[in-house]
A and B are shown apart, each in its own frame.
Chain A
Amino acid sequence: MKQEILSRLLENQASKRAFALVTDMESGDQTLVYPDSADGADGGNAEILSAARQAIQDDRSKVHELSGRRIFVETFNPPLRMLIVGAVHIAQPLSRMASVAGYDVTVIDPRGSFNTEERFPGISLNAEWPDDGMRALDPDRRTAVVTLTHDPKLDDPGLEVALKSEAFYIGSLGSRKTHAGRVERLTAAGFTEAEISRIHAPVGLNIGSISPAEIAVSILAQITEVLHRKIEAREAA
């Protein structure tokens, strides 16, 4: 690898750009491929460019047989994101654990006494009302959304925006009873049964969690499961 390619790769990562590094496994020649441009030895090879761009989409690094050569396509996508509605107790361990697992975490809560740097050191905070905050942060298919306030006036606006997005995971804290009420309100707001069924509630895997940190583990475990099952399903298709 040329030092110049390595520096550009690191710059791309720092600026959270999606790209692929294409390596000819025989010669070692390399090309950086972006969704709309390319730079390097195979920058003009349509077959390689299209395979690399598909790989970026699928977030899937692997060896391809292309143009009679063995080509390793390594994808680099910006970190997955987690948007948490509610700067509540559970959000503290969850935001820290998710950061360790590689997520870019933002906590949304308009209540200034909860949403503080002291409670969430190093975590991005958004103090808007959850629908505005969620819209501004614009969840995509590499984003998980978790609502934790179990207060309809805060959770529902955030959920309504999240349900219209491609977020790969949506989860809401609250008992079965709380969730039944939520389903009723969302139905009244015009959401279909299929849309509402995207919400994981009660949130998290059922592992008998009691403390906030344990509940955070169950939520992060469920998000991990959904993430990988979705990738497996995409690969099987």
Chain B
Amino acid sequence: MADGNVATGLSLDDDVLNEAAKWRKEGRNVALATVVSTWGSSPRPTGSHLAVDEDGKLVGSVSGGCIEGAVVSEAMEVMQNGKPKVLEYGVTNELAWEIGLACGGTIQVFVEKVE
């Protein structure tokens, strides 16, 4: 995608937010990760959501699967201390070999606890 920042309202992400709300109502700890910026080619546009519960159960995505594992472990921490966090991933990241984006883009993800 030439510019991942194009939001069109076409997102089929509604289910992610509904699911997050449902999990929270069931009393589970939930964190929500949102793509807030992208540079270069990145697989999911700004506004894409990933919800994670305390058992590491996932719904949605913030990349094509490249960084979800890393985001989940950060989400666990955010769930515990309640402090929101901005994560950045891309080819310039020193951990690029492990959790970089194969497509060569860079993305910023905001992670917050659903309280």
Chain A residues with a Cβ under 8 A of chain B = 1-3, 6-7, 9-10, 13, 23, 25-28, 59-63, 72, 74-80, 101-103, 142, 227-228, 231-232, 235
Between A9, A10, A80, the greatest number of chain B beta carbons within 10 A of the residue's beta carbon is seen for A10
Between B34, B36, B37, B112, the greatest number of chain A beta carbons within 10 A of the residue's beta carbon is seen for B36
In the bound assembly, the distance between CA atoms of A62 and B110 in angstroms comes to 12
Chain A residues with CB under 8 Å of B36's CB are 25, 61-63, 72
Q: Are B8 and A61 in contact (CB under 8 A)?
A: no
Q: Distance in Å from the Cβ of B112 to the closest Cβ of chain A?
A: 5
Chain B residues with a Cβ under 8 A of chain A = 2-3, 5-12, 14, 17-18, 20-21, 24-25, 32, 34, 36-37, 46-47, 83-84, 86, 108, 110, 112-115
Q: Are B37 and A62 in contact (CB under 8 A)?
A: yes
Q: Are B10 and A101 in contact (CB under 8 A)?
A: yes
Q: Are A3 and B108 in contact (CB under 8 A)?
A: no
**Known A6-B114, A28-B84: A102·B5 in contact at CB below 8 Å:** no
Chain B residues with CB under 8 Å of A25's CB are 36, 84, 86, 110
Q: Are A78 and B9 in contact (CB under 8 A)?
A: yes
Q: Are A6 and B9 in contact (CB under 8 A)?
A: no
Total of A-B residue pairs, C-beta within 8 Å:
89
Q: Are B7 and A75 in contact (CB under 8 A)?
A: yes
Q: Are A72 and B110 in contact (CB under 8 A)?
A: yes
Q: Are A60 and B6 in contact (CB under 8 A)?
A: yes
Chain B residues with CB under 8 Å of A60's CB are 5-7
Can you list 8 A-B pairs, Cβ within 8 angstroms, ordered by A? A1-B112, A2-B115, A10-B18, A74-B34, A74-B47, A75-B9, A102-B9, A227-B8
Q: Distance in Å from the Cβ of B80 to the closest Cβ of chain A?
A: 15
Q: Which 7 A-B pairs have the closest CB atoms?
A: A28-B84, A102-B10, A77-B9, A61-B47, A61-B7, A61-B46, A72-B36
Q: Are B9 and A80 in contact (CB under 8 A)?
A: yes
Q: Are B10 and A79 in contact (CB under 8 A)?
A: yes
Q: Are B6 and A102 in contact (CB under 8 A)?
A: no
Q: Which of A10, A79, A228 is B9 in contact with, Cβ under 8 Å?
A: A79
Q: Are A13 and B14 in contact (CB under 8 A)?
A: yes
The residue in chain A whose Cβ has the minimal distance to the Cβ of B2 is A232
The residue in chain A whose Cβ has the minimal distance to the Cβ of B113 is A1
Q: Are B24 and A80 in contact (CB under 8 A)?
A: no
